[in-house]
Amino acid sequence: MTALLTATTVRRPTWVRPQPVVAFHDARDPRADGSAPGHDHQTKARVAAGLAALLGWDYVGELRELDRGEAPVYLVPRETLTLAEARRLGVHGPTQVFGGVVPQAFVATKTITHCAAPHATVPLGWSSAFGRAVQQAVLPGRSCFSVADARRAALRLLRRGGVRLKDPGGVGGLGQWALHDAGELDRVLASMDPQAVARHGLVVEINLHDVTTMSVGQVCVGAWQASYYGTQRLTRNRDGQEVYGGSDLVVVRGGFDTLLRRELPSAVRLGIEQALAYHRAAEACFPGFFASRANYDVAQGLDDAGRWRSGVLEQSWRIGGASGAELAALQAFQADPALRLVHASTHEVHGGAEVPSGALVLYDGVDAELGRLTKYAFAQTHVDN
């Protein structure tokens, strides 16, 4: 009888589900070459740990180190997942991931922002309907999958003024060229690998000056949904170069509709509406797409003719630079159910920095490439709701 009682007390009832755990996933193993993970990896892993605390679940660290067992996993991937990757990792909907899932890898890049060149050979799963749907929400431009198509598209746009040529894989302004004449264009295109262009594409769009870049986004984590707009700050690294220095966000509890009900400057309202049009077009045009974290960069400035323009540059359906501020805002909403709005920010300081009291430290150390770096986030709740 005693043995029977002992056996029944350790057996899990079949109707009791194990509590989920939270894991960070970096498909590019940063330790494969024996080096320590860099600041970006460590920062995003820290945000993943913060999301676990928000949800009240255990954080188990790297997915590759997890014994999958019975517990369901809430995944925080460093990159946008393809549908095939998501299925392999057990992600079937937005409640299981902080980030997004796309049917094909190219859908997570800048190439979808513009229509393809006529008669171009495009990737499997390309949506011409998406390009048409977002034409009023983006800058004039074209996505090209051959050097010849890129040259033709750029020459047409050069008749209006300056052109920006973009590598779809570029991050943080890298892989971009501001061009002003055919000679500059030909020199840049001559350096391109035609096979790489055929695989990944090139984006050609008008160039703006006196630019302000807005961030517009939304996060859905557990019971919390928050939407925001804001701007990015620049700082200087140890070499004196201007680099990303953080984001300042106005965050509301709820969806984009809640954000749009606020009194907003006309340019801000337009930027939010353009980001929302882009988001809805992705949901309509790419089967299998979903995102619990969506962020859109909207550029607003003057073209070479002096005309003011506004348009979405690109999307981010993955954990990003503003995610520390997103986490800080969600923590504030969790702490005060009556709170409707917060100002949240992230800060990246090269060299020594004093972190404000109450801030969430995301990284504080010496990076192998950047040197001394401190990254933190916090939310201000003493604002007009």
Q: 328 pLDDT exceeds 90?
A: yes
Q: List pLDDT tens digits, range 14-62.
A: 555 688 999 999 987 656 565 668 899 999 999 999 999 999 999 999 9
Please say if the pLDDT value at position 8 is more than 50: no
Tokens of 87: 């299925």
Q: What is the pTM of this model?
A: 0.91
H or E element, residue 221:
strand 209-221
Average pLDDT in the 291-299 region? 98
Strand-pairing partners, residue 243, are: 235
Residue 354 confidence (pLDDT) above 90: no
Percent of the chain with pLDDT over 70: 90
pLDDT cut 90: percent of the chain above it:
77
In this prediction, residue 2 carries a pLDDT of 37
- The pLDDT of 82-103, averaged and rounded, is 97
- Which contiguous run of DSSP H or E holds residue 361? strand 360-367
Where do we find the tokens 């939010």? 272
pLDDT attached to residue 65: 63
pLDDT-derived band at 9, boundaries 50, 70, 90: very low
Q: Are the CB atoms for 322 and 289 separated by under 8 Å? A: no
Which pLDDT value is given to residue 238? 84
Helix (H, G, I), strand (E, B) or coil at 111: helix
Give the span between the Cα atoms of 13 and 11, in whole angstroms: 6
Instruction: List the single range of 67-71, 189-193, 244-248, 324-328 with lowest mean pLDDT.
Output: 67-71
* Average pLDDT, rounded, for the chain: 91
d(CA 150, CA 142): 8
